């Protein structure tokens, strides 16, 4: 099928990008070209990232922040250089960046701060200066949104269960945007003087919606609450500056931005990190240890117990370098701005192409304003699992299910959606294959 469309402009030089990703040359399910549209779950890795990890292991491997031999020095330098590279990406100070095993752990690091500080305060145990801001009392409130990934919802439910705090949430409107002006589920109704934390996503992993973090953060700060931003779907796809967003904490994962699995990042305002009790404890994170008790290292080491994932950090540093080095095909944009423009163009083309298929309904904003590249949709009469199976049979790999956002799906009255997500190596041909696959699913299940 030949798609009839205006030329898609604003793209990266996709052929050049694709040549850096060996996995994209393999075939799947009986010789089909691999059309990878699941980067929202995890991205593929360029050779530059794989080479950086291999180089670390073949030349410099040692346990970082331990020992005084040459390899330990080189490994520590590589690890800390990666931290600096990643910090620069989000215009942050190096000491504000904590490495975790993934973004879920980064969010838990923040949520556990509250339950740990509360437990220690109850028993009159020592806490860092300023830690009282993390001590919760029954009836204090934690605010999330209805579009959160489980990773930015379940940890807060747990904090509430451990401290007696109350979970409240901002609603989502029919177009998939935060319903900030709603009289019942909007900002004014949900935030109040008991609000201690506002945790929200920067970009929905299901709807693609980019949320107005600055507006929410200003409202949160006005009532004295801290703002925790899940940036898993924004940092890989657009320029992000947590300070400009008004965030107090911001979490993202390495594997969704061309980096290795096994590494996530927590950025936090340094004064906050300094006043936090530790999360995971053990080696590396201590200052002095005695049998009677211990004191803890300053951030970020305080939150990096045990031998860290040095090779993954190096790989993520290489991924950041790779992203920063990308250019629009017409040379007009560079780095994450070029990535954002590329995805914007693909998303517009995908929304437009899917809109032309009868029986397909987009769940989320149907135009590209304030929207990223996650495109979730329903195909009337066919369950998402079955849509995904037909697509997979044609080499088109999408995500099906609730995408770890079950309450959001319940909000839209559906059990599951089919989700396509785009990244630097996707092109309009991938969109055409997606749409052709959806049409074939309709034919196969006899609904069109």
Partner 1 sequence: MDLESLYQEIILDHYKHPRGRGLREPFAVEVHHVNPTCGDELTVRVTLDGDVVTDISYDGQGCSISQASASMLHEQLVGGTVAHGLATTDAFLALMQGRGQVEPDEDVLGDAVAFAGVAKYPARVKCALLGWMAWKDAVSQAVASETPEVAP
Say whether residue 412 binds partner 1 (CB under 8 A).
no
Minimum Å gap between C-beta 388 and partner 1 is 9
Distance CA 162, CA 138 (A): 10
Question: Which of 5, 29, 66, 125 is close enough to bind partner 1 by CB under 8 A?
Answer: 29
Q: CB–CB of 120/277 below 8 Å?
A: yes
Q: Are strands 293-296 and 286-290 parallel, antiparallel or unpaired?
A: antiparallel
Say whether residue 444 binds partner 1 (CB under 8 A).
yes
Distance CA 48, CA 63 (A): 23
Q: Which is nearer to partner 1, 80 or 386 (CB)?
A: 386
Q: Which is nearer to partner 1, 13 or 146 (CB)?
A: 146
Enter the tokens of residue 362: 């987009």
Say whether residue 407 binds partner 1 (CB under 8 A).
no
Say whether residue 30 binds partner 1 (CB under 8 A).
yes
Residue numbers annotated as active site: 404
Minimum Å gap between C-beta 447 and partner 1 is 10
Question: Which of 28, 74, 393, 436 is close enough to bind partner 1 by CB under 8 A?
Answer: 393
Question: Which of 157, 361, 389, 436 is close enough to bind partner 1 by CB under 8 A?
Answer: 389
Say whether residue 228 binds partner 1 (CB under 8 A).
no
Minimum Å gap between C-beta 102 and partner 1 is 18
Question: Which of 89, 310, 375, 390 is close enough to bind partner 1 by CB under 8 A?
Answer: 390
Helix boundaries (H) for 289-369:
310-324, 335-355
The reply to whether omega before 177 is within 30° of 0 (cis) is: no
Binding mask 342-381 for partner 1 (x = CB under 8 A): ----------------------------------------
In Å, how far from its chain's centre is CA 2?
35
Minimum Å gap between C-beta 168 and partner 1 is 24
Minimum Å gap between C-beta 386 and partner 1 is 5
Q: Which is nearer to partner 1, 186 or 401 (CB)?
A: 401
Q: Which is nearer to partner 1, 34 or 119 (CB)?
A: 34
Number of residues forming the site for partner 1 (CB under 8 A): 19
| DSSP code per residue over 422-439 | --TT--HHHHHHHHHHHH
Distance CA 396, CA 336 (A): 26
CA angle 196, 202, 383 (to 5 degrees): 115
Say whether residue 255 binds partner 1 (CB under 8 A).
no
Minimum Å gap between C-beta 410 and partner 1 is 9
Q: Which is nearer to partner 1, 64 or 384 (CB)?
A: 384
Q: Which is nearer to partner 1, 217 or 374 (CB)?
A: 374
Distance CA 105, CA 111 (A): 10
| DSSP code per residue over 214-246 | HHHHHHHHHTT-EEEEE-TTTTTTS---HHHHT
- Region binding partner 1 by CB under 8 A among candidate stretches 71-79, 135-143, 238-246, 440-448: 440-448
List, in order, residues 6 or more apart from 157 with CB less than 8 Å away: 167
Q: CB–CB of 288/295 below 8 Å?
A: yes
- Region binding partner 1 by CB under 8 A among candidate stretches 1-9, 118-126, 265-273, 409-417: 409-417
Integer Rg of the chain from CA: 23
Say whether residue 385 binds partner 1 (CB under 8 A).
yes
| DSSP code per residue over 121-156 | HHTT----TTGGGG---TT-EEEEETT--GGGTHHH
Q: Which is nearer to partner 1, 35 or 309 (CB)?
A: 35
What number of helices (H) and strands (E) belong to the chain?
A: 14, 17
Distance CA 104, CA 262 (A): 11
Minimum Å gap between C-beta 404 and partner 1 is 10
Distance CA 258, CA 254 (A): 7
- Region binding partner 1 by CB under 8 A among candidate stretches 99-107, 246-254, 289-297, 388-396: 388-396
Residues that bind partner 1 (CB under 8 A): 29-30, 383-386, 389-390, 393, 400-402, 406, 409, 415-416, 444-446
């Amino acid at each position: 099928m030949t798609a009839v469309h205006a030329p898609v402009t604003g793209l990266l030089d996709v052929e050049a990008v694709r040549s850096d990703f060996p996995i994209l040359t393999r075939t799947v399910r009986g010789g089909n070209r691999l059309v990878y549209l699941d980067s929202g779950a995890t991205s593929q890795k360029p050779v530059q990232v794989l080479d950086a990890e291999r180089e670390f292991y073949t030349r410099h491997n040692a346990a970082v922040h331990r020992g005084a031999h040459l390899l330990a020095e080189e490994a520590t330098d590589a690890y800390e250089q990666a931290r600096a590279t990643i910090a620069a990406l989000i215009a942050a100070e190096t000491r504000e960046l904590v490495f975790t095993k993934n973004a879920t752990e980064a969010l838990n690091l923040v949520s556990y701060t509250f339950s740990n500080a509360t437990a220690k305060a109850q028993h009159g145990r020592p806490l860092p200066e300023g830690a009282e801001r993390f001590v919760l009392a029954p009836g204090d409130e934690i605010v999330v949104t209805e579009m959160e990934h489980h990773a930015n919802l379940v940890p807060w439910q747990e904090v509430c269960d451990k401290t007696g705090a109350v979970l409240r949430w901002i609603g989502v409107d029919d177009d998939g945007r935060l319903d900030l002006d709603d009289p019942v589920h909007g900002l004014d109704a949900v935030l109040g003087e008991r609000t201690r934390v506002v945790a929200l996503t920067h970009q929905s992993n299901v709807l693609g919606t980019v949320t107005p973090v600055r507006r929410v953060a200003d409202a949160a700060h006005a009532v004295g609450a801290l703002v925790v931003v899940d940036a898993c779907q924004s940092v890989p796809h657009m320029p992000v500056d947590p300070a400009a967003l008004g965030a107090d904490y911001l979490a993202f994962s390495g594997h969704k931005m061309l980096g290795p699995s096994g590494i996530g990042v927590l950025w936090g305002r340094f004064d906050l990190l300094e006043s936090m009790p530790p999360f995971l404890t053990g080696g590396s994170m201590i200052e002095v240890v005695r049998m009677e008790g211990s004191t803890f290292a300053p951030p970020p080491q305080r939150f990096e117990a045990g031998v860290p994932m040095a090779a993954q950090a190096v790989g993520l540093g290489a991924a950041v370098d790779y992203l920063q080095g990308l250019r629009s095909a017409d040379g007009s944009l560079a780095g994450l701005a070029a990535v954002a423009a590329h995805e914007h163009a693909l998303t517009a083309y995908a929304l437009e192409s899917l809109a032309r298929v009868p029986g397909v309904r987009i769940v989320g904003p149907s135009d590209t304003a304030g929207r990223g590249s996650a495109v979730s949709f329903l195909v009337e009469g066919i369950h998402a699992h079955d849509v995904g199976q037909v697509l997979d049979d044609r080499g088109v790999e999408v995500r099906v299910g609730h995408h770890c956002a079950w309450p959001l799906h319940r909000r839209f009255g559906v059990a599951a959606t089919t989700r396509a997500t785009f990244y630097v190596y996707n092109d309009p041909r991938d969109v055409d294959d997606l749409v052709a696959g959806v049409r074939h699913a309709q034919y196969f299940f006899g609904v069109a």
